[in-house]
A = this chain, B = another copy of it.
Amino acid sequence: MNKIIIYDTTLRDGAQTEGVSFSVDDKLRIARRLDQLGVDYIEGGWPGANLKDIEFFERIKHIKLTHARLTAFGSTRHRAQTAKSDPNLQSLLLADVPVITLFGKSWDLHAEQVLGVTLPENLELIYDSLSYLVSKVDEVIYDAEHFFDGYKANPEYALQTLKTAESAGVKCLVLCDTNGGTLPDEVGHIINQVKAELSTPLGIHTHNDAGLAVASSLTAIKYGARHIHGTINGYGERCGNANLCVLIPNIKLKLRQDCISDEQLTQLTELSWFVSELANLRHQSHQPYVGESAFAHKGGVHVSAVQKVAHSYEHIRPELVGNKRKVLISDQSGQGAIVYKAREYGLDLTKNTPEVQQLLAEVKQRELDGFQFEGAEGSFELMVKKAKGLHKKLFELIGFRVIVERREHDREAWAEATIKIRTPQGVEQTAADGDGPVDALNCALRKALEKFYPAIKEVKLIDYKVRIINEHEGTGARTRVLLESGDEESSWNTVGVSANIIEASWQALVDSIEYKLLKEEMQQEPE
CB distance B412 to A500 under 8 Å? yes
What 1/0 mask marks residues of chain A from 304 to 322 whose CB sits below 8 Å from any chain B CB? 0100110111111000000
Q: Which residues of B contact A505 (CB under 8 A)?
A: 475
CB distance B296 to A238 under 8 Å? yes
Cα-based distance from A190 to B182 in the complex (angstroms): 24
Q: Which residues of B contact A485 (CB under 8 A)?
A: 474
Cα-based distance from A270 to B505 in the complex (angstroms): 32
CB distance B406 to A397 under 8 Å? yes
Pick from B183, B254, B472: contact of A181, CB below 8 A: B254
Q: Taking the complex as formed, is A294 at the interface, i.e. its CB lies under 8 A from any CB of chain B?
A: yes
CB distance B407 to A399 under 8 Å? yes
Q: Taking the complex as formed, is A246 at the interface, i.e. its CB lies under 8 A from any CB of chain B?
A: yes
Q: Taking the complex as formed, is A266 at the interface, i.e. its CB lies under 8 A from any CB of chain B?
A: no
Within 8 A of B (CB), among A454-500: 460-469, 471-477, 479, 483, 485, 498-500
Residue in B closest to A328 when the chains form the complex, CB atoms: B18
On chain A, the number of residues with a Cβ less than 8 Å from chain B's Cβ atoms is: 121
Q: Taking the complex as formed, is A74 at the interface, i.e. its CB lies under 8 A from any CB of chain B?
A: no
Cα-based distance from A415 to B504 in the complex (angstroms): 13
CB distance A437 to B500 under 8 Å? yes
Cα-based distance from A18 to B482 in the complex (angstroms): 13
CB distance A298 to B16 under 8 Å? yes
Pick from B404, B436, B462: contact of A472, CB below 8 A: B462
The segment from A33-41, A214-222, A350-358 found at the interface with B is A214-222
CB distance A315 to B209 under 8 Å? yes
Q: Taking the complex as formed, is A282 at the interface, i.e. its CB lies under 8 A from any CB of chain B?
A: yes
Q: How distant is A18 from chain B, measured CB to nearest CB, in Å?
A: 5
Pick from B316, B398, B474, B500: contact of A408, CB below 8 A: B398
Cα-based distance from A291 to B237 in the complex (angstroms): 12
CB distance B215 to A184 under 8 Å? yes
- 28 A-B interface contacts by CB (under 8 A): A18-B328, A107-B312, A109-B309, A114-B309, A114-B312, A179-B313, A184-B184, A208-B288, A210-B289, A214-B215, A237-B296, A239-B287, A399-B407, A401-B405, A404-B500, A404-B503, A413-B500, A435-B475, A435-B500, A436-B476, A439-B474, A442-B475, A461-B476, A462-B472, A466-B466, A474-B483, A474-B485, A475-B505
A interface list, Cβ under 8 A from B: 16-19, 21, 23, 25, 107, 109-110, 113-114, 178-185, 208-212, 214-215, 218, 222, 234, 237-240, 243, 246-247, 249-250, 254-255, 280, 282, 285-289, 291, 293-296, 298, 305, 308-309, 311-316, 328, 372, 374-375, 396-408, 412-415, 434-439, 441-442, 460-469, 471-477, 479, 483, 485, 498-503, 505-506, 509
